[in-house]
Structure 1
Amino acid sequence: DLFITHYALLQPLMLAIAGLAMAGGLGLPSPDGGAAPEIASRTKGRPSLAVSQLLIGAVFVAWVATDLASTVFYHRALAQSGGLADHSDAGYHLAYHLRYNGMGAPLALDWGIDAPVRYLSQGAVTPIEIFGYASPAAPDDGFAGRLAPFLENPDNVYLLHSEGATVFAGRRESFLGAATQAGLRPVLERTFAQRDGTPLFELWKLYRE
């Protein structure tokens, strides 16, 4: 699931660019053992590179200190808030609940549930996405057909975002309507909220009337 790691993929590139820039500024030898020609030509005759080395060293220390401070502040904020919205620890609680209650293939009726649950459950839970990507404003014509085969199995569980966190609209209403038409009673079994009490995820089951 690339979207979870795409920022991390940039980190080695940034470090490599910074390292090469610093090596060039410090006049370090090239990988073949000698100074790069352009560096050698620029620095020939200079008595010392001490000033430029000190400046580059100061920039490096400031960069590391700033990154370290930002990391500490981020961790403090996360420890207090647990994160917000889809980046809150409610996702951990949802994945844990599904994994250790034998709910290995829940039906995901909204975007942004499948990949985090798979990742946080280490692949033990593999949600089935049936909400359809055609339009975030309303379900496509095939939504009811994709949903229908799952309705008769009382063991199925259905995952939705809370109304305030919904991404792909209309799936909740279509799901509840289809269940009612099939003579089933939708029951909200559990809600998973961020630490300030804002509900984020809902777990539903259907029962025969």
Structure 2
Amino acid sequence: MFLSLFKESLPSLLTGLAVTLKLAIFSIIIACVIGVIIGLLGISKNKILRGISTVYTYLIRGTPLIVQGLFLYFGLGALFAMRFDPIKAGILVLSLNAGAYLSEIFRGGILAVDNGQMEAARSLGLNYPKAMVLIVLPQAFKIMIPSILNQFIITVKDTSILSVIGIRELTQSGQIIIARNYKTFELYAMVALMYLILITVLSLISKLVEKKLSYGIKA
């Protein structure tokens, strides 16, 4: 019975899984851009820029993701009398949320690069922005890749929260099927199993990448 139900529900669940991956991938790409910008603001000598970074990370990290999603989709939608596209709203919410955490990762990664690298670049005639982009950030990225992959895994799991704004990702797909056949235990077990398999695969990839980076110089 369970196998027949799984076979019957699999196409819909796979469609939801595809949406989950789409949300996570687009979000983490945008979040990396946000993270770099906010991370650079966080190490700026300008107090105003550092203040912007601090306020952003404080607000995002200090509020639940579900509240951020509801605020953006329903709150701002009501304020401006407009209806947001759920997928775009979901990507925006996840990007802003992950960006706040990635900003700290990027800030730490940049600070982990030896100061001599920046000084050497400046002595060669590169200005600060060029030295940061061409010399410091590439080295920092190598340090940060495992943490970025870990944040991607967290973002994949966070997509389930977006079912509250009507996005038909994996969790919402399971809920829709449950509304038709009332097989609550079986369907949530299937959804949990699919998440478990996906997260396990991503975790293994993350560990392999981390191991490769650790021994990359010797290779």
State TM-score, norm by structure 1. 0.24
Greater per-residue helix proportion: 2
Q: Which has the higher contact order (CA 8 A, sep 6+)?
A: 2
- Higher alpha-carbon Rg: 1
Greater per-residue strand proportion: 1
State TM-score, norm by structure 2. 0.23
